[in-house]
Amino acid sequence: EYTNERGGNTLNSISKDLISSNNEQLTDDNYTVNLDNQNIPASIRKSALRPKKGTPREVEIDNTGKYIPKGWERKLYRYVGKNARVGKKHGLYKVRYISPNGNSFTGKFQVSEYIKTLESNGITESLNIEKFDFSLSSHNLPKKRGVKERNYCIPRKKDDVGNIDIYVPDGWQRKLIKNKSGKKHYIVYVSPDYKKIRSHKQMREYLAHLEQKSAPQLVDLERINFSVAKTLDNLSNYLSNECRRRRKLKMNCNT
């Protein structure tokens, strides 16, 4: 095995002798391999420097106002995987401090241990551990591309919007629910005592049960509406109107 210290990647299936004997050139930045000797198996040439899952890659970061000791660097890394949809660390961002000798730190504890190691070797550095800032705010992250405007038009209270012109008894809630597969919707009425009712039959049984207990509910059964279509229409109309309103507001701000 050969370890690329700059990228932190392990190059499997290739020994140092194989690399030197075939005049192979390594490029750290784009993880490529150029081989002059075509006798090396294609599978080795292709996967020689492929980044492993969880491999960190440096991205731009704004260090304005951040504590950076002399000779040190503060960098932002993004963990990426071989497959964009695989790996727990894909898309995870981390701040790292890089010491003058190339050591990388992702937390104050690591910096503290590093200082102790230096002191045990008779080396002292004027470092303020408390000022090391490993936090990451949203404005430090790269801007996402291709965000559709409709993502900003989602109502905060979906149920309130979906229930426009739909009967909801006092003290009750009417909710639009997705099934586990996410392919179908259904309506649920939630009573004041948090009973979930999904059909007219269940509603009649619930009201009859309350009457037997001498605790009738003021519910107009004829106006109870389990229609999903009406609710989705309300949401669709709201989203369309809200998007148009925000586009108009954005245009006015730009003029």
* pLDDT tens per residue across span 121-179: 888 778 888 888 888 765 556 665 544 444 444 444 666 667 777 888 888 888 888 88
Name the pairing type of β-strands 25-27 and 32-34. antiparallel
Q: Please give the C-alpha separations between residue 170 and each of 128, 164, 173, 192, 200, in angstroms, as whole numbers.
A: 60, 15, 8, 9, 18
Q: Calculate the average pLDDT of the chain.
A: 71
Q: What are phi and psi of 74, to 5 degrees?
A: -120, 115
Structure tokens at 201: 């039959």
Please indicate, yes or no, whether residues 246 and 162 belong to a single structural domain of this protein: yes
- pLDDT band per the 50, 70, 90 thresholds, residue 81: low
User: What pTM, to 2 d.p., does this model score?
Assistant: 0.36
Please indicate, yes or no, whether residues 71 and 16 belong to a single structural domain of this protein: no
In a domain, 145, yes or no: no
Domain region containing 7 = 2-47
In a domain, 128, yes or no: yes
Please indicate, yes or no, whether residues 134 and 158 belong to a single structural domain of this protein: no
pLDDT of 34 higher than 60: no
